[in-house]
Homo-oligomer: A and B are copies of this chain.
Amino acid sequence: MAGPCSVESEKQLLRTAEAVKAAGATFLRGGAFKPRTSPYEFQGLGEKGLKLLDKARRATGLAVITELLSENHADLVAEYTDIIQIGARNSQNFQLLIAAAKTGKPVLLKRGLSMRIEEWLLAGEYVLANENPNLLFCERGIRTFETYTRNTLDLSTIPIIKRETHCPIVIDPSQGAGRADLVSAMCKGAVAMGADALLIEVHPNPAEAWSDGAQQLSLDMFANLMKELKPFIAAAGRV
């Protein structure tokens, strides 16, 4: 799963979608509604962003994953997306989890910044208990005292989620490390440990991204990464 942090424009999105498709991605990610720490930062293109994702979907055949921020947007977002993402800051926003579950679409639940694994599993129960069996867990790093990386990516979640649930585990190394130069190593580790998917931020021009530029890969970096991962995918028996 790959794509820009934020959907910015048709050109940016389509160019990214075509490139990640060519490199082997099967899902296009992109934020239309963005949860930003400050109300004065770019909040996403909203419905216009959803329509651009839909356009890219039709153009490339990629499936789409995007984030849901408000209970009131559940039907709208479900209309345009194949997987609904619940972000780390809303990981215990139980009303939002219920609203997402009720759309019937698969729900990808990111781990909260200081969420214990037990709490994550129980938050997932808010989806399962609302008759939606299509739940994916996504590790995106936890908050620690470390300042060298943005978060500390906890790869032990891979064997643990596999042991405790029937659900896929997705790894987001972009948020996890917060640094593009660490993404490649993180992906290799995740694949070797049995991750079912990777969620990677890719942008045609990371230096000019409207959000989180430091952690997005360029199109070339992504294509290289997909090549580098091949022997590890084979070693993990996931060809």
- Complex CA gap A126/B37 in Å reads 9
A155 pairs with B153, CB closer than 8 A: yes
A:181-213 near B, CB below 8 Å = 181-182, 184-186, 188-194
A156 pairs with B149, CB closer than 8 A: yes
Q: What number of copies of this chain does the assembly contain?
A: 4
A35 pairs with B94, CB closer than 8 A: yes
B153 pairs with A232, CB closer than 8 A: no
Closest to A38 in B: B122
- Complex CA gap A40/B160 in Å reads 22
Contacting A234 at CB < 8 Å: which of B70, B191, B194, B235? B235
> A154 at interface (Cβ–Cβ under 8 A)?
yes
A:116-171 near B, CB below 8 Å = 116-119, 122-123, 125-126, 129, 142-149, 152-156, 158-160, 163
> A107 at interface (Cβ–Cβ under 8 A)?
no
Q: Which residues on the B side are within 8 Å of A159 (C-beta)?
A: 181-182, 184-186
Using a CB–CB distance below 8 Å, which chain A residues touch chain B? 35-40, 69-72, 89-90, 92-96, 112-114, 116-119, 122-123, 125-126, 129, 142-149, 152-156, 158-160, 163, 176-177, 181-182, 184-186, 188-194, 231-232, 234-236
